[in-house]
Amino acid sequence: MDCRHNLRALHTFETVSRHLSVAAAAQELGVTQSAVSHQLRLLGEIVGERLIQKNGRGIALTDAGRDLATRLQPAFAEIDRSLAEAIGGTRDRVRLAICSSFAKAWLVPRLHSFYAAHPDIDLQIMMYAQDPELTDATGDAFVTTLPKDRGYHSQLLWPEVLVPVVLSSLARRKTGPDYITTELQPGKIGSDWHAYARHSGRGDLTPLTGQWRFASHYVIALDMVREGLGAALVPDFLAEPEVSIGRMTLLDATGLPTHEDYHLCVKESRRSEPALDALIRWFKQELGKSERSMPKSALRLAQP
């Protein structure tokens, strides 16, 4: 297939694959939704594969569509970079894929310094509930607890340490709180609290009835603590703002290392790109400024 005669269809599909929305793609491309649909049908006929399928009220990529998108997205990103350099463009774009708890509690409060230092870089933050896949189709840089992919430079940002927090008003009650666990798999339910009890020597920090409250993510667990629904084990950087103002209390001063530490990952072959290099240097600068926020008098690290 001579792709040069089908660039419009390829560009249309690449745009749809990023948004997973015909309407959003049409808006970015400045065309009608029917024009987008026409180009998608044309490309499907050319490649002889179904690339997009309905998914509830939205759309999703088929296996063939994901495979094509994985190749097209970095290719069109490179075209954009090359064009900007050729015409003397001064702005650049970096897509930072990041797990949600670290984005909300660590990254966002520091972003003002990045924007001030790099007004020429459009930093696009894409938040994921789970660790994002390390691929150009997902992002240009990644914050993940799974930094082992071959071909990627990995920089440690923050060792994850869990602390037990509860609403301060509940901590003053004579009866113990309910316990919220983020371990939901059968056979592992409540294993976060059981591990904490072993490390801290606080066997009393588990429900006497064996009944748990459940949350699939640290951010949800912390929101449940805010509502007075129980105590939860969450990363120290997530709990620190609430503890520092006295809204929440630590049930114990021991921190539990999870060894699922946060890393910044960038493909080795792209580290020298100016925008990515600026992002790496900014992270190093912020790490140099910050120490673990929870006062050392209030947080002891348990030894594994």
pLDDT tens digit sequence for 85-131: 565 444 588 999 998 889 988 999 999 999 999 999 999 999 887 77
Question: What are phi and psi for residue 18, nearest 5 degrees?
Answer: -80, -40
- Residue 113's nearest CA partner among 284, 297, 295, 282 is 282
Q: The whole model's pTM is what? A: 0.66
User: Is residue 303 one of the residues assigned to a domain?
Assistant: no
Domain end position, chosen among 67, 85, 103: 85
Q: State both tokens at 90.
A: 């001064």
- How many distinct structural domains can be found in the chain? 3
Q: Is the pLDDT of residue 182 over 60?
A: yes
Residue 169 sits in a domain whose CATH number is: 3.40.190.290
Any idea which of 2-16, 109-123, 192-206 has the lowest mean pLDDT?
A: 2-16
Pairwise CA distance, residues 191 & 169, whole Å? 26
CATH number at residue 53: 1.10.10.10
Please tell me whether residues 228 and 267 are part of one structural domain.
Answer: no
Whether 276 maps to a domain, the answer reads yes
- Judgement on whether residues 170 and 238 belong to the same structural domain of the protein: yes
Q: Are 88 and 150 in contact (CB under 8 A)?
A: no
Q: What is the pLDDT of residue 83?
A: 67
For the beta carbon of residue 79, count every other beta carbon within 10 angstroms: 12
Residues 184, 138 share a domain: no
pLDDT bracket for residue 294 (50, 70, 90): very low
> Which residue in 154, 147, 177, 174 sits closest to 165, CA to CA?
177
Regarding whether 166 and 237 lie in a shared domain, the answer is yes
Q: What is the CATH number of the domain that holds 129?
A: 3.40.190.10
Whether 187 and 52 map to the same domain: the answer is no
d(CA 117, CA 80): 23
Please measure the distance between the N-terminal and C-terminal CA atoms of the chain and give it in whole angstroms. Answer: 57
Boundaries of domain holding 273: 90-157+261-294
Rounded to whole angstroms, the Cα distance separating 124 from 31 reads: 24
Nearest of 11, 30, 24 to residue 68 by alpha carbon = 11
Domain boundary among 51, 85, 119: 85
The reply to whether 187 and 47 lie within a common domain is: no
What pLDDT, on the 0 to 100 scale, is given for residue 304?
34
Ranking 107-111, 135-139, 181-185 by mean pLDDT, the lowest is 135-139
Residues 80 and 225 occupy one common structural domain: no
Mean pLDDT (whole number) for 243-248: 93
Run of H or E including 233: strand 231-235
Q: Which H or E run contains 95?
A: strand 92-99
Within-domain flag for 299: no
Q: What is the pLDDT of residue 151?
A: 85
Across 197-217, average pLDDT: 90
60 belongs to a structural domain: yes
Per-residue pLDDT at 261: 92
